[in-house]
Structures are given as structure tokens and as C-alpha cells.
Structure 1
């Protein structure tokens, strides 16, 4: 039986957010990485929409969403998507920057969150500002490309860094994974000329993990950037109801590299916690 795909835009202060919703039942809301847009979840939409209501959206400044040069809250933007889709409580699933948004949103409006899944996630307040010695060269190349506004080169460098993994050989990840990250990153750079300023959660999440009372599922690829790997371990140790899943041969984009395993583990997580 075919399902009706709902698409549209959610009005927010100084912008509008593109979203898609399909299926019915328990709502799953997917929040993309900073080197992607909502298309990174294609395999998850196909897998989960026959059983659940699957919602994905482009965060402000990414994909088909639009913004003015304003100060804004990613948490309030997510809340606007939930309200527009008439979702009382959802499982939030976020990759990288999207994981950080999911965590911060769980802390900001816990009554709207039923469960939390993060992969290669950032964690507000975690990590050092200093660049590790082994990353000085690749990050320096990315900064130079950004300063030169060489968006094609920057997208290639970022895709190698995040898809293959820092200091991994080019082509370690499947070329399809590299290419989807590269193309989404490039389109974000050329199609989003205006930069809005995201307001950080204050106080940051690192000191508030005990407040997370919903089941938490943490995915990490051990070839990911060191701060992401350490943040995943830290969350596993400091959140009461946390499950930690590590893939030794995967980098930042767990759901793209291991979609079948990723989907299966989420199904088991939902069933085990009676969500």
C-alpha cells in the first residue's frame, strides 16, 4: 500500500524549514549532520515509514530551508517542526551537529521527547578548542579552501574527512557514501549564501546529562574524529539509561556506511524500551 508523503515548509522567525513526513504511528524525527541535509536519511525513511511516522527536515541554513541573517535557536526550530506536524512526543535521531541539536532539545523540552538516538554526535561544552597535532594539516587545508571560497575543493576535503575518517586513506569508505556527503556539502555551500547565528544552549549539555531521563541509544564509528569518539563514551557513562554501540570500521556517517545494522538496532531499541 502506497503512503502519502507530506512535504512543505514550517515558518520560523527569519526563515522557513523544509520538511517531509510519511507513515503513521510512533513519530521518529531525523536531524541531519552538518555535512549533509535531510536526504542523508533516505534509507531510514524507506525502512521505518511502513511502521512509524517518519519526519525529517533541513535545519536552518541547509538543504531547501531558507534563512535571513538572524540569531536563532535550533531547539526552537525543531519545536516548530514538532508543532507543525502535531507531534506531542517523538524519538529524536540526530547525526553529528544534528545529535547535538537532539540532545539540547531533550534538555530544553523533555516532555516532547520519548527517546533519543545519536550517532557521531557533538555534545555542547565537550572537547578542546585546540586542534590536535595530527589534524593540523587536514583542517588547515579545509580552512584555506573556505577562505578562498573554493566550495568544490572544500566539499571534497570535508567529505574525505568525515566519510573516510580523519587521516584515513582516501576511498576507505564506499565511494557512494563519499559522493553523497560531497554533493550535499557542496550544495549547502553554494545554495545558502546567508549565515544565521545559532544560539548555544546555556548552560551547555555536558553538565546536564543527568537530566536526560528517556532511553538513549549512542552510535559511534571508531574511525571518527577523536572528540566524537570520546563524547560518545562520556555520554554512555553519564546518562542513566544509555546503550552504546561502536563500529570499529566506520567513521562519522554510521547510518550511511551501515544502514541495515543501524536500522535493525534502532528497531530493537524501540521494542526493548517499549517506545
Structure 2
């Protein structure tokens, strides 16, 4: 069952979700090569937003922004293979093809893609493969293939992986770059989601990625906003700056009061940022 936070709640064993305005979002499954992927769609606004989660949580990470987005836009979110309600991958798979399958199943011809961390990498690769289908890109603490991590990043990642593999979820959720120290409600959500969906940890290992897209970023034509939380890792801030320089016309925004999961900690402020971006001609 999907974990939800107010003002979204589950009925019928988590298959139907209601937004604050009463809009219903039913969990559906899109066929992908050798499997299926769970997705939800809501709203009927003239602009479409697709939410792509990070490499640790699943699509419920967007619960805090989902109701307000559903009231203003057509919105799709999905669980990548092995995350949330989607079955685990049994062989390496192409995340770009999976996203294309989800959008086809949801009847989406073009959209603004909002990708968090590894989801930002998926959004970039999709935009390069399907430029005419992408109206805009919002990359949140993005992890894009081709950047070389620092030793600090590798040590921190190894520590986080060790904590998660031993089930020490509370300690993992206190990683200093994910959330600010006082964000107890958001931290409890992270712990609960990881506890309810242990398959999330390690699910991304089956995802195939390209050789690296740095040399192709100049080919991106969609308006692009790069968002980082102010306490996110130095690597993330450095990569965000590089993306701003390499993607034509890209703009970068550092949001105060949060880290890697800024949309968990400051959902209303994050939605306002999205609304402003989507309002631009």
C-alpha cells in the first residue's frame, strides 16, 4: 500500500487517491518491456506535469505537492521499476523507454518533466531522446550521467548504503544533506516509506544508463530550471552549476530551508516555484 500524507489519503487499499479538491487518482499499470509500471494521473489543467522520483524513495515522495499540482495541472507520477507498487526488474532495463510507455498509457503527448536526483537524469535522457515531447525540464538536485563524483561524495554514499543495507533507517534519514535537522515530519515520512517499501533500496541498480550526456546537453532545447536545496551536498551544487552552464538558457535556483528532498520539507514553496516556471511563456 502506498504511504500518503495529508491532505492526500488512501481508500480501497490504496488504489484510489483523493486530492483536497476531491479529484480522484487511480493507480494504473503501464506495460513495459517484460513487466509493468505503476502510475497515477490527476487533474485536467491545460499544462501537463510529470513527476519522476529519486533513487531511494518512490512516487509517494511527491505527496506533499500532489494535491495542489492536481488542482492546477494535469499531473502524472509513477514508480520506477522495483520502487513502490512497481514489480522489481529482473533484467537491466531502459528507463527512458519506461517513461515513454507511462506517458503513452496516460495519453500524454508532451509535458514538463520534474525529476528529482536520479529522476532528473532520467528526465534529461528522455528530453534528449524525445525533444518534441518535452515542454520544460525542472531538475531537482539532479544526478546526471557523466559527472565524476568527489571522494567526499563516495564516502558519504558508502555510509548511506551501509546504513540502509543494515536497516538503520532512522540513521540514514539523518543524513545531513537530505533534510534540515528540524524537519522531523519529513524525516518520519522517509523512514516510513523506506520501511514499507524495502525494495526501493537497490532497485536502481537494474537501470541502464547511457555513456554520459555531458557532451549532449547543448542539444537540449526545452526551457530548464535547476533547483537545489541550500544544504544539499557540495557535489550536487557543483553539478547544478555545471548543468546551468552547459544547458542552453538554463536557470538555477537555490531554495533555502531544505536539502536534497526540498519538496518534502517545503512543498508549498516548491509548488510556487513550479507554478512560476510553468507560467512563463
Q: What TM-score do you get using the length of structure 2 for normalisation?
A: 0.84
Distance 1:113 1:260, change over 3 A: same
User: 1:102 maps to which residue?
Assistant: 123
* CA deviation after TM superposition for structure 1 residue 27, in Å: 1.2
Give the alignment partner of residue 261 of structure 2, picking from 244, 250, 253: 253
User: 1:156 maps to which residue?
Assistant: 170
RMSD of aligned residue pairs (Cα, Å): 2.3
Q: What TM-score do you get using the length of structure 1 for normalisation?
A: 0.86
1:19 aligns with 2:33: no
Find the aligned partners of 2:71 and 2:157 in 1 and give their Cα distance: 41
SS in 2 for 1:125: coil
* CA deviation after TM superposition for structure 1 residue 139, in Å: 4.2
Instruction: Pick which of 92-101 and 66-75 moved more.
Output: 66-75
User: 2:82 maps to which residue?
Assistant: 61
Find the aligned partners of 1:157 and 1:23 in 2 and give their Cα distance: 37
Find the aligned partners of 1:195 and 1:177 in 2 and give their Cα distance: 22
1:116 aligns with 2:116: no
Give the alignment partner of residue 185 of structure 1, picking from 180, 194, 208: 194
SS in 2 for 1:56: strand
Within-5 A mapping of 1:202-241:
202=211, 204-241=212-249
Find the aligned partners of 1:180 and 1:207 in 2 and give their Cα distance: 37
Find the aligned partners of 1:43 and 1:210 in 2 and give their Cα distance: 33
User: 2:6 maps to which residue?
Assistant: none
Could you tell me which runs of 5 or more consecutive residues in structure 2 were left unpaired when the two chains were aligned: 1-20
* CA deviation after TM superposition for structure 1 residue 156, in Å: 2.7
Could you tell me which runs of 5 or more consecutive residues in structure 1 were left unpaired when the two chains were aligned: none
SS in 2 for 1:106: helix
Find the aligned partners of 2:218 and 2:62 in 1 and give their Cα distance: 29
Deviation by residue 1:137-184 (Cα, 9 ceiling, x = unmatched) = x545434445xx42x21x3333222xx417x9xx61410111112222
Deviation by residue 1:241-261 (Cα, 9 ceiling, x = unmatched) = 212110244210111122111
Instruction: Pick which of 243-252 and 15-24 moved more.
Output: 243-252
Find the aligned partners of 2:131 and 2:81 in 1 and give their Cα distance: 22
Give the alignment partner of residue 271 of structure 1, picking from 239, 256, 279: 279
| Equivalent residues, number | 260
User: 2:177 maps to which residue?
Assistant: 165
Deviation by residue 1:15-48 (Cα, 9 ceiling, x = unmatched) = 2111110111311100111121111111222111
* CA deviation after TM superposition for structure 1 residue 95, in Å: 0.7
Find the aligned partners of 1:4 and 1:190 in 2 and give their Cα distance: 27
